[in-house]
Amino acid sequence: MDITRLAPSPTGALHLGNARTFLINWLLARKQHWRVVLRVEDLDGPRIKPGSEAGLLEDLRWLGLDWDQGPTRQSDRGDAYLAALSQLTDAGLAYPCVCTRKEIELAASAPHADDGSSIYPGTCRGRFATIAAARADTGREPAIRFRIPDDSSSIITWTDRFAGECTIDARTLGDFVIAKADGTAAYQLAVVVDDAAAGVTQVVRGNDLIESTPRQVLLYRALNLANQLPHYGHAPLVVGADGRRLAKRHGDSRLNYYRSQGVPPGRILALLGRWLGINDVTDHATIADLLTLFKPESLPTEPIVFTQQDDDWLKSR
């Protein structure tokens, strides 16, 4: 049996955009009889908001989504991440890095990604023999970066459920952090360790995370888990009128906001259903309606634009 995961992060409330992605994942799972694991990705300590986890799970249940296992929490998995980190550092596949974000931005040799962010230029590659040496030489607590291969094995190709044939050379992304300076596992490492441990075979997420795939594939290989690689699917996002990913700048699109305005879940599901290409959904849908009507091949291939008219329609109920 295939296994997928719903993986909310309690750094904020669920909004219409990530609700749509979770819904796609859940509908695919229930249509195709996958097992659904719920994992709370709560490692980003400073950004975790008190009460967010309970609110996220309440929102998912309010929409009618359920799961077969969990919730598990990444904050309980430190030993597993530490073991993976030790495996990578012992094999010479990761190294200590004392560079600050500002130093990377100011580095003349730092290339830039399409979004304008700086790509790590490799300043600390080969600079320190050990983590202890990095600490002693600089007085800083180092982060740990994964060393992208220098050869063609860095070129990752996969068939994406939504995006089709994809190829990304991970060298264009730069060596990436797998453990923060405080010792906490970073996103890429934690996700791979957890997906492998749970036997996840199907990963469904927004296409803002598509560049995570080559990084994660390399980690699977480096941890001798290549035989457990999942099938990836990156769905187009919900965006605002400016074409940017849905966020606070586009107004309040949180599910708990609409709930406070008296909007019923059926109204939200009706809008989300239309965003999934279900044209004959009623104005007050149920999760059972969507499960019956949903056809994966009908999913839009372009981003969905959330408009003021959508907001007005929800509130008109």
Range of the domain at 221: 78-227
Res 5: pLDDT: 99
CB neighbour burial string for 171-205, b if at least 16 within 10 angstroms, e if fewer? bebbbbbbbbbeebbbbbbbbbbbbbebebbbbbb
166 is in an annotated binding site: no
* Cis, peptide link before residue 71, omega less than 30° from 0: yes
Domain boundary among 227, 249, 269: 227
* pLDDT tens readout for residues 206-218: 999 999 999 999 9
61 is in an annotated binding site: no
In the chain, the number of structural domains is 2
Res 109: pLDDT: 63
> In this structure, are strands 176-179 and 143-146 parallel, antiparallel, or unpaired?
antiparallel
The pLDDT of 69-79, averaged and rounded, is: 97
Domain boundary among 227, 261, 285: 227
CB-CB contact of 94 with 147 (8 Å): yes
The reply to whether 219 and 249 lie within a common domain is: no
97 is in an annotated binding site: yes
* pLDDT tens readout for residues 151-164: 999 999 999 999 99
- CA gyration radius, the chain: 21
124 is in an annotated binding site: yes
315 is in an annotated binding site: no
The reply to whether 100 and 121 lie within a common domain is: yes
Determine, yes or no, domain membership for 59: yes
Determine, yes or no, domain membership for 232: no
9 is in an annotated binding site: yes
Please indicate, yes or no, whether the overall pTM of this predicted structure exceeds 0.85: yes
Written as six digits, the tokens of 265 are: 């879940």
Determine, yes or no, domain membership for 61: yes
Res 249: pLDDT: 81
Res 107: pLDDT: 78
296 is in an annotated binding site: no
187 is in an annotated binding site: yes
7 is in an annotated binding site: yes
The reply to whether 87 and 222 lie within a common domain is: yes
Report the distance separating Cα 129 and Cα 133, nearest Å. 6
Q: What are phi and psi of 269, to 5 degrees?
A: -65, -35
Of the candidate ranges 42-46, 55-59, 246-250, 283-287, the one whose mean pLDDT is the lowest? 246-250
Domain boundary among 171, 194, 227: 227
